[in-house]
Chain A
Amino acid sequence: MIETVLRGRPLLADRFDRIGAVALIACLAVVSQFMGDYHLALLTQITVFALSAMGLNILLGNTGMISIAHAAFMGVGAFSSAYLIQNLGLPALPAVLLAGLITSVVGMVFGLPSLRLKGVYLAMASFAAQIILYWAFEQSRWLTGGQDGRFAERPVMLGISFMDSHRFYLLALAFAVLGAVANLNIERSRLGRAFNAVRDRSQAAEMMGVNVFRTKMASFGLATFYAGVAGALFGQYLEFVAIQAFSLSVSIQFLALVIIGGLGSLAGSVLGAAFIVLVPEILDTIILMFSHNTGEMAPIRLGVFGLIVVVFLLFEPQGLARAWNRTRQWALNHTGKGSQTRS
């Protein structure tokens, strides 16, 4: 007993999760290699979005601070990585990581109001961050190419070229897995507990020795690091970075993503990313059955999507993660491998 305690908390709760996670990663790595372009594009987008969402989930789910500027931070990462590679000639791997760090610094600066502001007020402050950053993108033609956008190229990392879409997917998957492991490691150590303590009762946390200011800054720094790296990968995948990809509506989409996924849950961020990418695609397919003019039907699609989100949240307010947990519990009970976990 005491020995298991001394090892600290396990990365994943039980064998089901451990085997499941490894199986999922292996399955994605193999299956992706046989996918056609369309499905691979969706899968890559889900993976990159999931990486970005992990960051927002740390901020909103774990630390309880809202941000409607997440897409803008992805933009900072995407543009700075492209600049570092093309204008400064940095190799792709250090460039992506450095882009993450730059985003992190920008994120912490815009996170400063969180020291005084909470809830709706903090949401307004982050809304301002989104507007300011978007305006800065428009003005900084040297960095962003203005309305024309700028090219980004598929990277070469550690001597391996990721020009090919199938290979690039493996790169995105590797980043997402590393991001997930880092996320779980943080969750089970001091900083993770501090995040949650600040979310639940920041004043009590402070009296119990948690430096609330530093904890909030760490959360912003970490969340925007994820956004920056994900943004850089997103640009490289599309081979083009356009300002419009980082607009307010995309930020709100990310917010919806982590809420639908389930706040505070890593699995939720992944499931939410799948939801936000796949549901509109499925809707498109359905709409195409009835009409040949998708452009005309676009507003309907958006409306139906919104409706699905609302109905979903009414019936499953704790998100996809909760629904998944229930399924998992059911599976455990029916395979006889009794193992108790909390929701």
Chain B
Amino acid sequence: MAAMLLEVQQVGLNFGGVQALMDVSFSVSQGELFSIIGPNGAGKTTLFDCISGRYTPKGSIRINGAELVGQKSHLRPKLGIMRTFQNIALFPNETVEDNVLVGSDYRLRSGLLRSCLYWSPLGCSRQEGRHRAQAREIMAELGVEQFADVPASELAYGTQKRVELARALVAQPDLLLLDEPMAGMTSGEKMEIAALVQKLNQDRGITVVMIEHDMGVVMEISHRVLVLDFGQRIALGPPLEVIEDPQVRRAYLGDTV
């Protein structure tokens, strides 16, 4: 068994009496492609929000052994965690390039003074240029380079999803959290994204945790699947095992399968 990258232990979260998450535990090993499924309101995105620091839950969440609960959100990229959002959280007025470069923020050292002295030896022009070239490379890889100077809000939905992915990748994460990366896409686009996620996982060795509703894709590319229902873990295992689980069939798949 490979080393554990992400360890979630007995995570619980209350929203004014509503138990959003209850004693959820699981771990994701280095290099794994891990999916989280469950009906709407099962707590999937809430779990992501706990990992990325929007909420402070009970319990423990560790990455590479370092405790995340109680740590500031903005330290996540430094600890190797990047994410995308269910409802796209790009910066709408900014160009695609500027959006992607925000992912570089934590690696850029320039403050006020170095920005003001842009060209001087003390300035940040070289550093900016290097990161800009890096961002361009990733944008090209994801097929959004031609939109570099276009404001994010003017792009098609699917393209925006790709830009979000580029923003996450530019931070060179160990762990990539994808919140419904294929939602609202045509089946052709879904295939492309699925292939891309697999490629990132295999070629770059990025550990992926993905929330996704498309069962076909989940079954095909995931190594393991976690099933949540009403904030509780009801199953965890390889896709084929999970889908046979009677509790899962009842709670999640219902009558449709």
Interface residues of A (CB under 8 A from B): 2, 5-9, 11, 182, 185-186, 188-194, 196-197, 199-201, 203-212, 218, 221-222, 264, 342
CA distance A207 to B95 in the complex (A): 19
**Given A6-B130, A9-B132, does the pair A207, B83 have CB atoms closer than 8 Å?**
yes
Whether A190 pairs with B118 at a CB distance below 8 angstroms is no
Whether B101 pairs with A193 at a CB distance below 8 angstroms is yes
Chain B residues in 8 Å Cβ range of A197 = 91, 94, 102, 105
Whether B78 pairs with A188 at a CB distance below 8 angstroms is no
Whether B82 pairs with A208 at a CB distance below 8 angstroms is yes
Whether B129 pairs with A201 at a CB distance below 8 angstroms is no
> Closest Cβ of chain B: how far from A98's Cβ, in Å?
16
> Closest Cβ of chain B: how far from A264's Cβ, in Å?
8
Whether A189 pairs with B128 at a CB distance below 8 angstroms is yes
Nearest CB to that of A341 among chain B residues?
A: B149
CA distance A40 to B149 in the complex (A): 40
CA distance A171 to B124 in the complex (A): 28
Chain A interface mostly = helix
Chain A residues in 8 Å Cβ range of B124 = 189-190
What are the nearest 6 A-B pairs in CB distance? A209-B106, A204-B89, A209-B77, A200-B91, A6-B129, A8-B128
> Closest Cβ of chain A: how far from B60's Cβ, in Å?
20
**Contacting residues of chain B (117-137) with chain A, CB-CB under 8 angstroms:** 117-118, 123-126, 128-130, 132-133, 136
> Closest Cβ of chain A: how far from B65's Cβ, in Å?
21
Of the four ranges (under 10, 10 to 19, 20 to 34, 35 or more), the interface on chain B belongs to 35 or more
Whether A196 pairs with B93 at a CB distance below 8 angstroms is yes
Nearest CB to that of B83 among chain A residues?
A: A207
Whether A8 pairs with B110 at a CB distance below 8 angstroms is no
Chain A residues in 8 Å Cβ range of B118 = 8, 11, 185, 188-189
Whether B91 pairs with A5 at a CB distance below 8 angstroms is no
B198 within 8 A of A: no
Since A190-B108, A200-B94, A222-B112 are in contact, a sample of 13 more A-B pairs with Cβ atoms closer than 8 Å, ordered by chain A residue number, is A5-B132, A5-B136, A9-B132, A196-B93, A200-B91, A201-B91, A203-B54, A207-B52, A208-B103, A208-B105, A209-B103, A209-B106, A218-B111
Nearest CB to that of A218 among chain B residues?
A: B112
B230 within 8 A of A: no
Whether A5 pairs with B129 at a CB distance below 8 angstroms is yes
